[in-house]
Amino acid sequence: MKTMNLTLFVLSAILLAVPAMCDWNISFGESESQVSFSAPKGAEDFPMGPNSFRMINDDLWVLDSVGGRLLSFDKNGKLTEKIKIPGLGKEFYLDDFAAQIDNGKIVSFWVAERFANVLTRVSRDGKELAKAASESLAQLDELAVDSKGQLYVGDYGKSQLAVFSNEGQFLRAIPWQLSGFAVDQADNLHMINFVSGSGHQHLALNSEGKELFRTDIGLSDMQNPRLWKVGENDSIIISFIPQTGNPTKNVLFSIAKDGTIVKKLDYKNPYYIARYLVLGEKKCWVVDADYLKAPKKGIELKQVGNF
């Protein structure tokens, strides 16, 4: 397990001292720049609202899960793009989305719909390009797409990543420990494995599923790892729940390819939102929202540090 030196402790203290700054406010409603929500219908139901937030080319993209749309906001909070997802049924809920980016430009989006267990590839003008559905999928959730449109789907029900072509053809399944995953600019897949006795490992595979490298990162006392992003030189950003076991209190690490911890940040995450952490080129935001308080209380994205 890697240990942090004095410099890292000082850096961590500086990051923890950074005040949360709200850079985006999104309200609930029926206008084109507002998002929809659904209140719980029973005691066991969760409130539903936007379930996925991503930073793409300095714009904030929001999955309006109940409204069936993708919305883009610039750094000033102005709505710059809206895409209606085609082919949705009367009842739907959008879980996650991922963009196919080639040469810095968005080519298309893949979107996951929970109730029908279907994935749809959509152009920027809202046209359906492909669909992917497989009886082998039990509980689709997280998505990632490479520059060629190859789609990775996190299947929570079967603890595997299902891989589809950009035409929606099922290609293969990869064992997965529900630990998040990301695709780098070279179209390589990165994920986290836990090995009893040694701790966590950073695992990288090429687009055909061949292992490229495996690095021990330790941190065996940490729980529920989730890889969010792959940066330069195969560095990764990964969150954990500490030993306390409180699911709303997380620790975020930036870890180099050799397993060295570069930065550390404590943060609190919201309930009911799957992709709540937004990572830009250097900055990090956390979604601050409680859909039980909608529509009175909207959604804020608060900057919690530089990463």
- What are the per-10-residue average pLDDT scores of the chain (307 residues)? 36 40 88 94 85 96 98 96 96 96 95 93 97 80 94 93 94 95 96 94 96 96 95 95 83 96 93 92 93 95 89
What is the pairing mode between strands 277-279 and 283-288? antiparallel
How many Å apart are CA 220 and CA 239, to the nearest integer? 13
If you count them, how many residues does the chain have?
307
Residue 274: both structure tokens together: 């799957």
Reduced to 3 states (helix: H, G, I; strand: E, B; else coil), residue 77 is: coil
pLDDT of residue 1: 38
pLDDT of residue 245: 76
CB-based contact 240:253 (threshold 8 Å): yes
Q: Which residues share a beta bridge with 240?
A: 251
- Superfamily covering domain 6-33+49-306: TolB, C-terminal domain (2.120.10.30)
How many Å apart are CA 95 and CA 181, to the nearest integer? 16
Give the residue ranges of DSSP H helices in the chain.
6-17
**Which residue ranges make up each domain of the chain?**
6-33+49-306
CB-based contact 82:60 (threshold 8 Å): no
pLDDT of residue 305: 85
pLDDT of residue 6: 33
pLDDT of residue 78: 96
| Strand order, beta sheet including 94-102 | 94-102, 105-113, 118-122, 128-132
CB-based contact 75:82 (threshold 8 Å): no
Q: How many CB atoms lie within 10 A of CB 104?
A: 7
